[in-house]
Amino acid sequence: MSAATPSPMNPEHPQRIAILGSTGSIGVSTLDVVARHPERFSVQALSAHRRMADLAAQCRRFKPAAVAVPDEQRAREWRELMGDDAKGIQLLVGDGSLEQIASASEVDAVMAAIVGAAGLGPCLAAARAGKKLMLANKEALVVGGALFMNAVREGGATLLPIDSEHSAIFQCLPEDRTSWAARIDHIVLTASGGPFRSRDPQTLQQVTPEEAVAHPNWVMGRKISVDSATMMNKALEVIEARWLFDLQPDQIRVVIHPQSIIHSMVVCRDASVLAQLGTPDMRVPIAFGLSFPHRIESGASRLDFTSLKALTFESPDTRRFPGLGLAYDALAGPQGCSAVLNAANEEAVQAFLDRRIPFTAIHEVNVGTVHALAGRWAAPSELADLLDLDARARATAQGEIARRGG
Ligand code: NAD
Ligand code: MG
């Protein structure tokens, strides 16, 4: 990567951004916001796991100094697609390349937009290098927990939530986080209820991957879309909120709000409620993360209050969404519980998308895996221990999937 001397907080010098997972839903939305402000941001590095044609198109348009791909086959594909345009772009391949990008001295800010626990290593690298870390990759924090937050503190990183609910909470709080504990009674995470909010639970056994990924309000990657349909997404977000805002589990509540207009709320000690509202468009929290502590144009449309119909709220139906309770069970145990739950869920969702198990078996696999490993996890304090536990949980989950015919 070439050296330059811009400062992240000085608008006269563009902030140099690395986007990990640039071809995904969050990655593409991030580039959309970045492209609206060429004077503020420059794209320093991009990474993608598959879809080399999309990555090549992004490279031609944004001219990053570096790109990272997972293996030699993808590297060859990218080189062929790029031809002479590859000149001047450093290609990093395989193990360690995401960590290298995330901690490079030429990078001011990292957008963590990888899906799954695979993003934990690069997030830790960015945190330890003291970067501005914009976190969409909730699984990394669910798995890393205290280890992740310690890396942020010790590295002097600035951690900015991108998940819309957590961005909403963050936007409702003052910048000085030392005042948060005295101010917050509890927080309320809103959830749309996904595509099966009012579907007869008896029929959930038969739903297809296509139905499950058809979210009513948001366009997202396939994994998070399935998580929204099971409400495991909200379960992961409860764990994410515990770490981001240093809350006790009983301070984190969930309410179904089908319109996705209120993105979450802080209920203060004096009973006052602060909420953040807007159209459901991830470019809003992304723009907030990119420009924090300022505000910039995001490209999202404005709320039109006169055409808004009712904003409604209901309690989550635990019969339809049994996964939500798993978050509170996990938070009652050591960090290993959250790591195991996340790994089981990643494997179960993939098995459902591959049509190996029915939709309702996702929860069964999650519960089966957590029970199978209960008491056999320590409180992992190193990345290597967590990755080891993650691998064991995936193997156990695969056994659970196979037992259900997958
Ligand atoms: P996506 O599937 O659309 O994109 C994932 C990106 O990560 C792609 O660029 C892919 O190439 C890369 N990737 C996938 N597996 C990888 C691996 N093993 N190693 C390295 N890179 C890998 O996902 P998304 O919807 O953009 O979500 C990304 C993250 O943001 C998830 O953690 C999700 O929960 C979170 N998030 C997404 C949204 C949304 O609206 N999409 C909202 C809130 C939070
Ligand atoms: Mg969310």
DSSP string, 223-263: HHHHHHHHTHHHHHHHHHHHHHHT--GGGEEEEE-TT--EE
Q: Are strands 262-268 and 273-277 parallel, antiparallel or unpaired?
A: antiparallel
* 28 CA: nearest ligand 1 atom: 26
Res 10 pLDDT > 60? no
More confident site: 163 or 335: 163
pLDDT of 4 > 80? The answer is no
How high is the pLDDT of residue 8?
A: 47
Question: 52, 165, 220: which to mutate for ligand 1, most atoms within 8 A of CB?
Answer: 220
pLDDT average, residue stretch 262-283: 98
**Which residues surround ligand 1 with Cβ inside 6 Å?**
21-27, 48-50, 113-116, 118, 136-139, 163, 218, 220-221, 223-224, 282
Q: Which ligand neighbours the alpha carbon of 138 most closely? A: 1
CA of 122 to the centre of ligand 1 (A): 14
At residue 6, the pLDDT reads 44
- The structure's pTM equals 0.96
Whole-number Å distance, alpha carbon 25 to ligand 1 midpoint, is 7
What's the mean pLDDT when you consider all of the chain? 95
Q: How far is the CA of 21 from the centre of ligand 1 (A)?
A: 6
- CA of 10 from ligand 1 middle (Å) equals 29
Among candidate residues 119, 151, 116, the one with its CA nearest the CA of residue 393: 116
Please list, in sequence order, all residues whose beta carbon lies within 8 angstroms of the beta carbon of residue 218, skipping any fewer than 6 positions away. 192, 228, 260, 280, 282
